[in-house]
Structure 1
Amino acid sequence: MPTNWQTGLEKTLTLIVGGLVVLALTWALTGLLRRYAVHKQLMDIPNARSSHKVPTPRGGGVAIVVVALAALPVLVWLGALTEAAAYGLGGAGALVALVGWLDDHGHVAAGWRLLVHFTAAAWGLYWLGGPVDLTFWGWTLPGVWLWAPLLVYLVWLLNLYNFMDGIDGIAGVEALTVCVGGALLAYWAVPGANVMLYVLLAVGALGFLLWNFPPAKIFMGDAGSGFVGLWLGLLSIYAAHQAPVLFWGWVILLAMFVADATVTLFFRWLRGEKLTEAHRSHAYQHRAENWGHKGTTLFYGFVTLMWLLPMARWVVLGGVEPIVGVVLAYAPVVFLVYQFGAGIRHVEWDEY
């Protein structure tokens, strides 16, 4: 195993060459998966609850899964990742992707999916070193008390990512912007921070996005969206082990997806709707009817980079108490998705 990973020049060269390889492989594999999906008739057929109008192949997110998992042993060999972290990310991601792939090809009962999701989250959290102690207002919350909240957090991120993957490009743009933001936060907060994992997922998302950007030629599918959602959550835990304050930065970066999905779920729950049923009541779905898929997707990415990233930077550099920073970052985002109609039934939105 190389011993000089710490040198700045080798880091830069590895990031550039590795990034180009991951980009090329993900792009090529997504194209192959599209051909496979067309051949096997694995298509999303538009219906009254869909945001697309033409049958479109699904399952392209498997390319991100395969390339990301294959990259883990390479990162271990380079000395850029511990074996424990590779076990955690690889095992958790593979488990979620497998149940998602089975669901894409048939149907897996919601209860069994949820059991697998919690198992994968626990596996990943354990091998990444468990929760770190979090300090705010001079008070330290021991990590041992955070196991249950973080498992719920990880499973919610995993599932909300699936909920939010409903228009062309939005899931890929979210992964790309959040991971780029996470890499910048680590660079600002921790001199010499290892950002290889963040770059890996960002570039993998970009390779898929070349096929999925509006108008999409293939959709991500449950295997890919579940994998990406869980990895984003696990990367926030990984970042917390680099510096605990980075966890709050990642929570802020994820605000557009978290706020849209959570506000939507809350209002659907208030109306007594079955939460596992397909619907068109997310804020992004309402906006897509007026702005189109491209306009809505770019807007979500714009807010992440132009509002959430500066707020996250303010927090990680110590400019504001983390909890205060999270509230200040989320408040306008929650108001925004509410104004966009998050949780409002489609028929109500037409009358709004």
Structure 2
Amino acid sequence: MLTLYILLLVVFLIAVLATRGSIAWAHHRNILDQPNHRSSHSRPTPRGGGIGIVTGCVVGIAGAVALDFLSIHVAAALACGLPIAVVGYIDDRHSLSARSRLLVQIFCAASALWLLSPLTTLTIFGTTLSPELSAAVYLIGIVWMTNLYNFMDGIDGIAAGQAIAIGLCWAAVAGLTHAVAGIVFALAAAGFLVFNRPPAKVFMGDVGSAFCGFFIAVAALQMQQTTQKSLILWLLPAAPFILDATVTLLVRLMRKQRPNEAHRSHAYQILSRKVRAHGPVSLGYFLIATFWFGLVLWWRFGHSDALSPEALFLLAGLPFVVVGLALGAGRNN
């Protein structure tokens, strides 16, 4: 285990150094996020700092394979997120069309699912889906997670904080060896957070946010296979992001607004404007993920005969959804 702890320390340090280097590079190449009427920041800020998370994850996953903590096919599935990171970096420099980004995401998701095969068939509210339908749901879920994480990366520290919460919850419930991908991810995000905590010196950018969403989805599938526990359970610590993004999207669709149109109507954005600060909101999302949804995961992990994972996810998330709707998620722009 000592070697694993050393590896995690190396991951954190590499993420710190890579993020610091990305700041200098962004200033040199003028890769700056200029504030506008939709921004939650007020000064030009370097973007693309998610390179630190990507670099830390690559080193950590490669080290975990070398130390025999992770199988090569799982590492390859997680590495399918690298083309998404590359496309995200290009998009940070020169805007790409949504279609081209989506095609890359679908290809990467399909490749990851192939590498993780045979896939566990999904059971939703007692109904077991066919292998083909399960694979289709997984594909859509990975692509949605990839994009929603990008949508939710809008204020200082929130995306990195959620990444840390997810990795910590997985490790606390399943143990370090089962959740090695998640804890590597958390330490890489912590290294990035050194420079992204409010007031942020760098933004994650699409290179980091899209990669993070993809990584979480694939790592959750791996957790399902390793522990034989429902995928829905492992997504519980990600519930604040999943629910905020999904509810906001559904409200906007019902109001006949274009889903790809830029806006500031996520619950976390409304909250940050109300409190006029990013830190309390980002910390609040972290605490909710860890000490509400994380505790629900911990309880259900030891009580297999309790509520179904789907029902538990909905019940645990209901107060969060109600508050989001009361704030005007999807409407207040």
Q: Does the pair score TM above 0.5?
A: yes
Determine the C-alpha separation between the residues in 1 that align with 2:239 and 2:126. Answer: 25
Determine the C-alpha separation between the residues in 2 that align with 1:322 and 1:246. Answer: 7
Counterpart check, 1:338 vs 2:321: no
- Change in 2 beyond 3 A, CA 1:37/1:264: same
**Counterpart residue number, 1:205:** 189
**Counterpart residue number, 2:162:** 174
Between 1:201-210 and 1:138-147, the stretch displaced more is 138-147
Give the aligned CA root-mean-square deviation in angstroms: 1.6
SS at match of 1:203: helix
| Structure 2 counterparts to residues 192-341 of structure 1, below 5 A | 193-291=177-275, 292-317=277-302, 318=304, 319-341=306-328
Deviations 1:327-349 (A, max 9, x none): 21121121122122211232xxx
Pairing partner for 2:40 from 44, 48, 51: 51
- Change in 2 beyond 3 A, CA 1:267/1:70: same
Q: What displacement does 1:69 show?
A: 1.6
Judge conservation of contact 2:240–2:285 (CA < 8 Å) in 1. Answer: yes
Judge conservation of contact 2:224–2:234 (CA < 8 Å) in 1. Answer: no
SS at match of 1:303: helix
SS at match of 1:219: coil
Q: What displacement does 1:87 show?
A: 1.4
- Change in 2 beyond 3 A, CA 1:265/1:137: closer
**Counterpart residue number, 1:145:** 133
- Change in 2 beyond 3 A, CA 1:14/1:263: same
Judge conservation of contact 1:212–1:218 (CA < 8 Å) in 2. Answer: yes
Determine the C-alpha separation between the residues in 2 that align with 1:33 and 1:153. Answer: 30
**Counterpart residue number, 1:5:** none
Structure 1: 5+ residue stretches without partners? 1-10, 347-352
Judge conservation of contact 1:246–1:316 (CA < 8 Å) in 2. Answer: no
Determine the C-alpha separation between the residues in 1 that align with 2:213 and 2:99. Answer: 19
Judge conservation of contact 1:245–1:315 (CA < 8 Å) in 2. Answer: no
SS at match of 2:235: helix
- Change in 2 beyond 3 A, CA 1:142/1:296: same
For residue 165 of structure 1, what is the amino acid of its counterpart?
D
Judge conservation of contact 2:121–2:129 (CA < 8 Å) in 1. Answer: yes
**Counterpart residue number, 2:54:** 65
Pairing partner for 2:16 from 7, 23, 27: 27
Q: What displacement does 1:82 show?
A: 1.4
**Counterpart residue number, 2:74:** 85
Between 1:318-327 and 1:328-337, the stretch displaced more is 318-327
Structure 2: 5+ residue stretches without partners? none
Q: What displacement does 1:184 show?
A: 1.9
Determine the C-alpha separation between the residues in 1 that align with 2:330 and 2:127. Answer: 36
Determine the C-alpha separation between the residues in 2 that align with 1:185 and 1:338. Answer: 31
Judge conservation of contact 1:315–1:321 (CA < 8 Å) in 2. Answer: no
Identity of aligned residues (%): 37
Q: TM-score, normalised on structure 1? A: 0.90
- Change in 2 beyond 3 A, CA 1:77/1:342: same
Q: What displacement does 1:193 show?
A: 4.6
Judge conservation of contact 1:212–1:219 (CA < 8 Å) in 2. Answer: yes
Judge conservation of contact 1:157–1:229 (CA < 8 Å) in 2. Answer: yes
Determine the C-alpha separation between the residues in 2 that align with 1:193 and 1:320. Answer: 27
| Structure 2 counterparts to residues 73-152 of structure 1, below 5 A | 73-90=62-79, 92-135=80-123, 140-152=128-140
Q: What displacement does 1:41 show?
A: 0.9
Number of matched residues?
330
Q: What displacement does 1:136 show?
A: 6.4
For residue 111 of structure 2, what is the amino acid of its counterpart?
W
Between 1:13-22 and 1:292-301, the stretch displaced more is 13-22
Q: What displacement does 1:39 show?
A: 1.1
Q: What displacement does 1:140 show?
A: 4.2
